Structure 1
Amino acid sequence: MARPPRFDTALLLDAAVRLAAEHGPTGVTMSAVAAAAGAPSGSLYHRFTGRPALLAEVWLRTVERFQEGYFAALTSSPDPRTAGCAAARHVVAWCRAHPEEAALLQYGAREFGRDGWPEEHRRRADEGNGRIFASVADLADALGASGPQDTERVTLAVIDVPLTLVRRHLRDGTPLPVHAEELAERCTDALLVAVPQG
């Protein structure tokens, strides 16, 4: 029976996330990840075709883990305002629970080298983004949004507001305050209640 690999993909990606959280995307190189994981460079090249594929996996794994709970929150209640507020709370709560991965949310896919990603990774990113936009559009419809301004208000409420609250603390290197989830929820609710009901 073959021995399991000593340095599995999850361990290598965990090391890459730590580097990205500390140094940004530029700190994630094949050699730096190998050194941080205590692995030979060959372990990296055995699992990733090169740095673009490594950066893609670091970004996508982080975003997909975040999105899993976000989508669940958006469908957690038949009342769209309640679901929207739950999504805002999720943004803050997830970032509190996963500070290193949350640090990556300060960046965009392009800063993680999206233009050089293999096609399969770009497709995964597009599918995830498409799901987000579709879910927010569904929420806007459920709230009775009647035009682009209402839809923009919903996007601001359930994406931009909670992420802005989190990013400020991430940039400053300060912990999220204990009231952050409640603050995000109240701000989101104030925006959602202003959407005219159809």
Structure 2
Amino acid sequence: MARPPRFDTDQILDAAVRLAASAGPGGVTMSAVAQAIGAPSGSMYHRFAGRTALLAEVWLRTVERFQEGYLAGLHGDADPRTAARGAARHVVAWSRARPEEAALLLHGAAEFGRADWSEEHTRRADSGNERVYAAIGSLAEALGVADDRGRDRITLALIDLPLSVVRRHLRAGGPLPPHAEDLAEECAAALLTT
């Protein structure tokens, strides 16, 4: 009978998140992750075909976890303005609860080697992004927004501004201020009322 693996995939990806948060995507190598969890380097190749697959999986697991809560927020209330404010708050609250994962996402998929990802990894990334933009599009419709300027305003309110609240503090290595969720929500509400 084969012995169960000593390290599961989540333990490996957790170590990769920590490395990415502290050293950026360049710090995520097969040997660095193996060393971080005390595993032989060769055991990494039993889980991942190579560094590209590892980078894809660490990015995708992180972004999919974020998107799950974000989409729940967008769909969480019948009133589209309340749902929008909740989604803006989610960006900050999620980042506060998971600063290492949020720091990883600040790099972007391209820095995690997206150009070299497998077709399956690329499909997963595209599918998640399509779900987010479809939900934002549905919210725009519910708000009666039909023009490009209005859709850009909603994207600014629900994606760009909440990320800017997070980005400044995470890049400086400091904690998010206690009022950060309120700022994201207030900005979203202001943009959605004009």
TM-score class, shorter: over 0.9
- Give the superposition deviation at 1:41: 1.1
- Matched residues, number: 194
- Give the superposition deviation at 1:37: 1.0
Q: Which amino acid aligns with 2:128?
A: G
Residue of structure 2 in register with 1:102 after alignment: 102
Residue of structure 1 in register with 2:19 after alignment: 19
Q: Which amino acid aligns with 1:53?
A: A
Aligned counterparts of 1:44 and 1:91: Cα–Cα separation in 2? 32
Aligned counterparts of 1:49 and 1:2: Cα–Cα separation in 2? 21
Residue of structure 2 in register with 1:165 after alignment: 165
Q: Residue 7 of structure 1 contacts residue 43 of structure 1 at CA under 8 Å; is this kept in 2? A: no
1:91 and 2:91 equivalent?
A: yes
Residue of structure 1 in register with 2:50 after alignment: 50
Residue of structure 1 in register with 2:59 after alignment: 59
Q: Residue 106 of structure 1 contacts residue 167 of structure 1 at CA under 8 Å; is this kept in 2? A: yes
SS in 2 for 1:177: coil
SS in 2 for 1:174: coil
1:29 and 2:29 equivalent?
A: yes
1:185 and 2:185 equivalent?
A: yes
Q: Which amino acid aligns with 1:74?
A: L
Aligned counterparts of 2:5 and 2:61: Cα–Cα separation in 1? 20
Aligned counterparts of 2:4 and 2:143: Cα–Cα separation in 1? 51
Q: Which amino acid aligns with 1:68?
A: E
Aligned counterparts of 2:3 and 2:51: Cα–Cα separation in 1? 27
1:76 and 2:76 equivalent?
A: yes
Residue of structure 1 in register with 2:130 after alignment: 130
- Give the superposition deviation at 1:4: 2.5
Deviations 1:144-168 (A, max 9, x none): 1020000000000011110110000
Aligned counterparts of 1:141 and 1:53: Cα–Cα separation in 2? 38
Deviations 1:110-135 (A, max 9, x none): 11000111111011001011111111
Q: Which amino acid aligns with 1:41?
A: S
Q: Which amino acid aligns with 1:137?
A: G
Please give the TM-score of this superposition, normalised by the length of structure 2. Answer: 0.98
1:154 and 2:154 equivalent?
A: yes
- Give the superposition deviation at 1:174: 1.1
> Percent same amino acid among aligned pairs?
69
- Give the superposition deviation at 1:2: 4.5
**Uncovered stretches (5+) of structure 2, i.e. residues with no partner:** none
| Coordinate RMSD, CA, aligned | 0.9
Deviating beyond 6 angstroms after TM superposition, the runs of 4 or more aligned structure 1 residues are none
- Give the superposition deviation at 1:43: 1.7
SS in 1 for 2:39: coil
